[in-house]
Structure 1
Amino acid sequence: MATVGQIIFCSMIILIVIFGAAIILLLALSFTGQLSEVMSSNVAPTANLGDDELLSCYLNAQTQPARVTDVSVTWQKTGLTGPVYLYEDGAPSLGDQDPQFKGRTQLFPDALVAGNASLLLRSVGRGDEGDYTCTISSSGGGGKVKMHLKTAAFSATTFKFTSGALTAEAPRWFPKPNVTWSDFNGNVLNGSTSFAENSVGIFRVVSTLQPVNVSETYGCRIENDLVAAVSKATVTGPGVTENTYFTFSAASSLMTSTHLSITTSVLCIYYLT
């Protein structure tokens, strides 16, 4: 039987954890810009190296600017002195733009009237990874949102069926991924995987599963800490029908705090009993 002191002690611990989780949530919302009128649909995007990436930033206000000249937008990257992109007085102002981004960035003036200041970043490289801040000032409101851009290389998986073996190939992966095979029921199967690294550190992945049965479906998952390619391949006899989709990882401090709160509550209940 728990004493009054034990009950008070555990109650205080639970309250401290709950308040801590609330503080972390407020800090997270402040970091992502959700306490201001400027927001982003993705504050932790993962860009495919060599491809273009749209960094989301928009004004979340009922009153939108009436004219594009009413809007000024500044994109900045932590660690750089010059801006990534600057738009003011109805036109780009790129005289002081950081050399890393010259000729590689674009805003869309037609979208600015609707409060959309998303930035198109062309031909993403590893040096583009980092923390970005989008700041909007307009007659309809203003504020800033921060985001962290991650870079990776990922490509869809293609399959071949020859001599009773199913082979999966993916030409571009970075960081180096893991490969997991499974049957239709999700049971893990043993495959043989090889990696070939090119001069810029990007891996070509070749993985073979054998033996396999005609008319059966197999799963192949290629993944690293940032992105996963999830594929289903059905052996049809002379060929393979396949489909692949990508998933991206994202950490949540709120989920971590909630888990900590639940764990602490369970420990206190156990302690009191």
Structure 2
Amino acid sequence: SLFTDRRVTGLCLLTLVIYLTASTNLVVTTTSPVTGTRGHQVTLPCWLSPQQNAEELEVRWYRTNRFDSPVMHYQSKKFKYQEPAYVGRVSFGLKDAASGGLKSGDVSLKLLNVTTEDTGDFFCYVSSNQGYDSAPVNLLVTASGSPPFLSVVWGENDKVNVSCESEGWYPQPVLRWSDKKQDVKPQSLVYRNLSSGLFLVHSWLLLSSTSEPSCSVGLSDKEVKEAKVSLGTLHKTLEPGKETFCVCVIVILCLFVFDCKYRLQYPTLTHQYHCGKLHKTFFNHLHINVKLEDRNNPYLKVVGNRVREAHPDDLPGKSFPDGEMVTCVTAIKGTSGFSSGKHYWEVSMRRINTDEKLGIKQSWWVGVTSAAEIPSNSSTSFPNTSNGFWFLSSSPKRANSFQFSTQPEISIPFHSRPETVGVYLDCDSGELSFYNVEEKTLIGSFTATFKGEIFPLFNPGKGDTSPMEVVQREVQSQTGDEGNCAESNTTHPAISI
């Protein structure tokens, strides 16, 4: 009917007037998409155009289809109800350094502690008594995962199974294999979404024993982490079909310049080191009895050649200045230092000559340092190869791997923790190697350019009551030719600490 047609026409005109009013008097502009890093803060830009004071306006940030449960709601110069997941995490931010904030119409959202759940659209809605407008901002959340971890299993017919695993990525990363710079298709590629919301990727392939595979994992060409292994440098030590994990990892972070004067090696021992007699022959004449430096460190208890962390009741302020984190506060040097020659010493991780069954020590550092003094301030930069600290560390939080003091950190897998760690230092060639003495296997090696005097380094860690002991040997005179083994007795003074 004519009445109905006029009513419809009137509603259309009213809608058009409201739309034109909103668009003419209040225009919301955003920048999208925006990329944020998990655990960090990000600003979602939103502002009024033309510029006007927004202090008296209503500003509402909300997720898709969640208008009534806003991320942030500002009205009458007060903040209203917001979604619980965003309490304490949001506030007004600045779209750029020159912004004047709300007075200039900048209603950007600053979001703290970004999570993977924040991925997606955020709507910026602004209204006044003259109109309203809204626009979305798409947030892309990323998380950079761990360096790829390579493991090797020797098989039959000169074939080697090489697997690559990396975790902590978001969104799902891309994994690529190559062999001598030629792309290789893997036999398996599996992604798993962890309970944290992050992704783990695992892949493996079969290669010949002369291959040099590389595994790269990343979110884009600008954020790639890579691990390589040269199979030709690894020695086949087990029967076909049995597993051995022999890792030679060089981590390459394309985001950083990793130009260090060392390389990391993880071959198995040659036949010489699998023979107990030859093992003793090789190291007996190099063994030195390292003494612990007397620093009067209140955070350590040193008795003879044993050291452990001080009891909490004996600590200044009853606590460590750096909490549970293991730092140089509990580190100690050995004497004397070396500037040339080959040297070997051992560190026991099990309590000797006592009925206490404390098991094998799990928290420790063992290595060398060129530092004249151990930093006593916990705020000092963490010790690593770039500032004169070369060491192998163990942590109970990482039950299946050791770590080298590299930047970035490099992990080395193991099947069982060593009771005794042997340290071999060749100052002239720049080699530093770590051995599992009981199993007569090499854990890993550094090759570095040592300058000046180098000192043994020890750290008993924290939260581990078992002490570490620098082994002292009484070497008897050798008889016969060089191939005969000189017997030695290891002395462990019955001192309880």
**TM-score scaled by length of structure 1:** 0.50
Structure with greater helix share of residues: 1
Larger radius of gyration: 2
Which of the pair has the greater relative contact order for Cα pairs under 8 Å at 6+ separation? 1
TM-score between the two structures when normalised by the length of structure 2:
0.31
